[in-house]
Structure 1
């Protein structure tokens, strides 16, 4: 009887430790703390504000389909989320009447996330840029547009500017993971590859981890293109960011052509700027729009 109790206790402790590790992995992976919102959540968010829901588009391509939401009128502004995340990370932007009265605001589900298909990671920044760009164009978003990229969405937006300069009038890079030398795989990235833990993760977490491993080499490819960019760019970076080191902002300033990039460093601010300091993003959008 004593042996059974000890065995049971050991199993309980082991199970508890596993759950704690799994929780730690999930929190650690998150470059954005939001996931795909349900239809009910979306409807509730807009109805509470006396607004209609956004228009939704699903652009079919040679790989699957890219999903996006759109609201407003005027010049285009496109939001690209981090890893993981969804277009719903920017629901507060699409419901901002001040923004949608002056701009056509579009938010996409990056490949591997939200309602974009297939539900597998797309590690290639070039492929992500192509699919997102084509979907945004097909949706009727006015171009050239201002593109806003947060975290891993930052290099995706930069790649779009490099490959499709005619569609980009300006970039707002928010805590962008851009510097290959600062791209370090953390312990929880390796842990997330272990089958028992990987099996317990949602597809968003798995895809997030899968696109992180080749991200450094993808940034090297992107870096070779950045010296030719002439796109007016504002980088917003928190100096207390533990997920994307502030040195990434310095990298952007260093590799872009002289005079193209303006750095806006926020003191005491962490990685989650789209939710903690959305006014800084809106200010950057309006500042870049005024330069056109």
Structure 2
């Protein structure tokens, strides 16, 4: 089929590549170049870079407005496919391709409708993650579903790792749905069950409550890593927790928030068992090993996170 594709981050690239290998991509819509890093270097999106490697026309747009709608209409695409573009598709663009738009979403709908489904699922401690391809409608992630697939994700996976896994399975699922739409066998069914929402994470979502049980602390760390990032306070300054894991079984029992130096980590007490932090970033400094950071503290004897 002749398609138009919309997406922006790296998680959308596997689907773009899969579709480009099997179908005609009339154009790729992505967000404009954005300043990245400390030097704020203007950088094109991962989808734009992939599209250029594939030799596909690229439309860079901050909003899917009337101008974009006219460009899409001129392309004569039969179907639009969107994966994490970062903007809302409204009428008349929503119905401009002959068969409308389908959306790859990284959850088992109707659970976790919104911008951060994987992050919210990890924070909530969901036992199962997955992907869904649905018909895009005006309401948020509410369209009929063509296909869903549970996806096994490592128990210790942070949000970025989980998204990489889901992106590969999602690309395969989207390719199957597009093939079914092309031959006229696709069937979409209404979503079943009560929806839950997954709004975009804020910096406050990364704050660790050390009084919570270990399972909740670890789930939050996984869900907010790498963005917006897990963090705590120490002497009124923010300490970013870049990498953490369950503490060894023989670790000492610690009061919530109490820190204890170990060979290659810093143990921090939770409401139950400790968290082993192996990499941190103190305020105003670069990332460093947690053990090295700990040895550099002047007062290494009575340090409590969250203070």
With normalisation by structure 1, the TM-score equals 0.35
Task: Report 1 or 2 for greater relative contact order, CA contacts < 8 Å, sequence distance ≥ 6.
Answer: 1
Whose helix proportion is higher, 1 or 2? 1
Structure possessing the higher radius of gyration over alpha carbons:
2
